[in-house]
């Protein structure tokens, strides 16, 4: 029993190759070779829908006299990417009390002076409140108003900037120049936004990737030798210069496939009479060129590692369910 | 949830909740790799319900054990992908650092 499986696993371990082509702060392009399409697709689906992120969910609006409606404003706030590691926070469910472990509170108070020019509210005006909500809950008992402790919409027992991760880098939107709203003279927006952890499955604002996709490596095969004038013609046909000319002595020319990776499968090379006999266009079944673009919460290589971890967790859950 | 027969343990349908093509297709792939499996497939009864039915038929072993082994194999494959990827990213970063030093 174990023998057969371990042989296959050894084959898999021998054949799997990962080559990173490009790695920047925001995106990564890498090749996964020797893996099956179902696994590659599983990673892509998890990257888009099941990696947790933090985004604004509840917006408490105290004053909004701008032309942007409350719900439109709240929707826009939800889509702003926040630069905070979601692994440091917990999920919150319906009946949980918002505390410093599951909620991040932001404040936005913008006013456009009457008689002045129109102003733009950008995302850098969202200020982080490490001590929690500042809006007070309405209480019926007037006697308790004289007491020192007043209840707010969140119950933070400690300040979030006492945590080492946040003490020197405050939580803020990743990009400070996202336009939230535009105000005319005399208009004002005063609100508090609570950000929580969620998954792309529930709403796209919680997707940590701008997008993540893969394509399979194109395979361009010359079925017959293409020589002389035909070779020149072939090289000129291709808009992305997949083919190259090589000299074969006595002034003869032959076309060869130099850059199959840049092929877009536009099929220009087989357009025209008889060209289909010379060129075959296919894809390599187990070579995936992944591109992952992060919105900023986590670096893209960490995102892929987390996605693989989530697939492992799913398997673990099935195993425990079966035992 | 396992739907099968007490008499014949080699054939069963496993109904997993809160799952979709992500896990089911990968599991189906690893199940097919197992030589003990004669038939395996998955279906999603309705796209609005997050439920997947995985059918496993084996050459005699209990279907539940075969599915568990396939899950283990999938976990090992994932761990290997993760370690290979981390190594590749490290190599790439080191190579970039070397190139930056050489240019200077």
Question: Per-residue pLDDT tens for B2-29?
Answer: 999 999 999 999 999 999 999 999 999 9
Q: Does residue B64 belong to the interface with chain A, where contact is any CB pair within 8 Å?
A: yes
Nearest one of A111, A25, A95 to A62, comparing CA atoms:
A111
Query: Using a CB-CB distance cutoff of 8 angstroms, which residues of chain A are in contact with residue B78?
Result: 308-309, 311-312, 315
- Which single residue is written with the structure tokens 């880098």? A169
CB contact under 8 A, A38 and B26: yes
CB contact under 8 A, B61 and A1: yes
Question: With b meaning 16 or more CB within 10 Å and e meaning fewer, what string describes A26-62?
Answer: ebbbbbbebbbebbbbbbbbbbbbbbbbbbbbbbbee
Instruction: Note the pLDDT of residue A184.
Output: 95
Identify the domain containing residue B14 by its residue range.
2-103
Q: How many residues belong to chain B? A: 104
Question: With b meaning 16 or more CB within 10 Å and e meaning fewer, what string describes A125-161?
Answer: bbebbbbbbebeeeeeeeeeeeeeeeebbbebeeebb
The residue among A68 and A268 whose pLDDT is bigger is: A68
Alpha-carbon gap, residue A83 to A287, rounded angstroms: 33
Q: What is the CATH number of the domain that holds B23?
A: 3.30.1360.10
Instruction: Note the pLDDT of residue A302.
Output: 95
- In terms of CA atoms, which chain A residue is nearest residue B54? A318
Who among B22, B82, B88 is closest to A46 (CB)?
B22
Q: How many residues belong to chain A? A: 323
Q: Give Cα separations from B47 to A40, A227, B19, B79 (angstroms).
A: 22, 54, 11, 30
Alpha-carbon gap, residue A83 to A275, rounded angstroms: 52
The residue among A323 and A193 whose pLDDT is bigger is: A193
Alpha-carbon gap, residue A292 to A166, rounded angstroms: 27
Instruction: Note the pLDDT of residue B14.
Output: 95
* Domain tally, chain B: 1
Min Cα separation B74/chain A (Å)? 7
Query: Using a CB-CB distance cutoff of 8 angstroms, which residues of chain A are in contact with residue B61?
Result: 1
Nearest one of A206, A175, A211 to A28, comparing CA atoms:
A211
Min Cα separation B5/chain A (Å)? 16
Q: Does residue B80 belong to the interface with chain A, where contact is any CB pair within 8 Å?
A: yes
Tokens of A317: 């859950």
Percent of chain B with pLDDT over 70: 100
Work out the pLDDT band at A26, boundaries 50, 70, 90: very high
- Residues whose CB is less than 8 angstroms from the CB of residue A7 and which lie 6 or more positions away in sequence, other chains included: none
* C-beta neighbour count of B104 within 10 angstroms: 5
Nearest one of A164, A163, A183, A214 to A39, comparing CA atoms:
A214
Report the residue of B14, B18, B32, B88 to disrupt the A interface, i.e. the one with the largest count of A CBs within 10 Å: B88
CB contact under 8 A, A311 and B88: no
CB contact under 8 A, B81 and A18: yes
Mean pLDDT of A124-142: 85
Instruction: Note the pLDDT of residue A148.
Output: 62
Min Cα separation B59/chain A (Å)? 12
CB contact under 8 A, B34 and A4: yes
The yes-or-no verdict on residue A51 having pLDDT over 90 is: yes
> CB–CB of A81/A296 below 8 Å?
yes
Query: Using a CB-CB distance cutoff of 8 angstroms, which residues of chain A are in contact with residue B73?
Result: 5, 8-9
The yes-or-no verdict on residue A2 having pLDDT over 80 is: no
Sign of CA dihedral A296, A297, A301, A303: negative
Query: Using a CB-CB distance cutoff of 8 angstroms, which residues of chain B are in contact with residue A314?
Result: 19, 22-23
ipTM exceeding the 0.90 mark: yes
Instruction: Note the pLDDT of residue A7.
Output: 79
Per-residue pLDDT reduced to its tens digit, A221-234: 989 888 888 888 88
Report the residue of A35, A42, A290 to disrupt the B interface, i.e. the one with the largest count of B CBs within 10 Å: A42
Look at phi and psi of residue A301 and say left if phi exceeds 0, alpha if psi is from -120 to 50, else beta. Answer: alpha
The yes-or-no verdict on residue A202 having pLDDT over 90 is: yes
Per-residue pLDDT reduced to its tens digit, B35-77: 999 999 999 999 999 999 999 999 999 999 999 999 999 999 9
The yes-or-no verdict on residue A1 having pLDDT over 50 is: no
CB contact under 8 A, A314 and B88: no
Q: Are strands A53-64 and A188-198 parallel, antiparallel or unpaired?
A: antiparallel
CB contact under 8 A, A9 and B76: yes
The residue among A237 and A309 whose pLDDT is bigger is: A309
Residues facing residue A220 across a β-bridge: A281
Task: Give the three-class secondary structure for A196.
Answer: strand
* C-beta neighbour count of A234 within 10 angstroms: 21
Instruction: Spell out the long-range contacts of A74-78 with Cβ–Cβ below 8 A and sequence spacing 24 or more.
Output: A76/A180, A76/A181, A77/A108, A77/A126, A77/A180, A77/A193, A78/A203, A78/A205
């Amino acid at each position: 029993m174990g023998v057969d499986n371990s042989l296959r696993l050894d084959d898999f371990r021998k054949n799997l190759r990962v080559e990173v082509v490009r790695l920047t702060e925001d995106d990564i392009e890498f090749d996964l070779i020797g893996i099956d399409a179902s696994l590659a697709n599983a990673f892509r689906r998890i990257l888009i829908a099941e990696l947790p992120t933090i985004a604004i969910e509840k917006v408490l609006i105290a004053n909004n006299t701008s032309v942007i409606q409350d719900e439109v404003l709240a929707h826009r706030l939800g889509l702003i990417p926040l630069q905070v590691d979601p692994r440091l926070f917990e999920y919150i469910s319906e009946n949980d009390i918002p505390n410093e472990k599951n909620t991040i509170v932001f404040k936005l108070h913008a006013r456009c002076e009457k008689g002045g020019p129109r102003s733009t509210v950008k995302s850098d005006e969202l200020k982080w409140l490490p001590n929690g909500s500042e809006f007070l809950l309405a209480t019926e008992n007037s006697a308790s108003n004289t007491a020192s402790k007043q209840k707010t919409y969140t119950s933070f027992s400690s300040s979030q900037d006492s945590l080492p991760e946040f003490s020197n880098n405050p939580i803020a939107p990743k990009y400070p120049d996202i336009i939230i709203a535009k105000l005319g003279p005399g208009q004002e927006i005063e609100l508090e936004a609570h950000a929580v952890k969620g998954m792309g499955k529930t709403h796209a604002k919680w997707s940590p990737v701008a997008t993540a996709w893969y394509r399979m490596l194109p395979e361009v095969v010359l079925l017959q030798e293409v020589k002389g004038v035909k070779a020149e013609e072939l090289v000129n046909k291709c808009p992305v210069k997949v083919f190259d000319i090589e000299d074969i002595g006595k002034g003869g020319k032959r076309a060869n496939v130099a850059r199959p990776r840049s092929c877009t499968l536009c099929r220009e090379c087989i357009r025209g009479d008889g060209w289909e006999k010379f060129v075959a266009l296919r894809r390599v079944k187990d070579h995936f060129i992944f591109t992952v673009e992060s919105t900023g919460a986590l670096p893209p290589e960490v995102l892929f590692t987390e996605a693989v971890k989530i697939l492992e967790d799913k398997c673990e859950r099935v195993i425990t369910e079966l035992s | 949830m396992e739907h099968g027969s007490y008499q014949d343990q080699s054939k069963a349908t496993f109904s997993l909740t809160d799952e979709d093509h992500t896990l089911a297709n990968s599991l189906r792939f690893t199940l097919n790799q197992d030589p003990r499996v004669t038939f395996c497939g998955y279906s999603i009864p309705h796209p609005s319900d997050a439920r997947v039915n995985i059918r496993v038929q084996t050459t005699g072993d209990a279907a539940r054990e075969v599915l568990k082994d396939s899950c283990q194999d999938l976990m090992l494959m994932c761990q290997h992908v993760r370690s290979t990827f981390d190594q590749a990213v490290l190599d790439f970063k080191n190579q970039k650092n070397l190139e930056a030093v050489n240019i200077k």
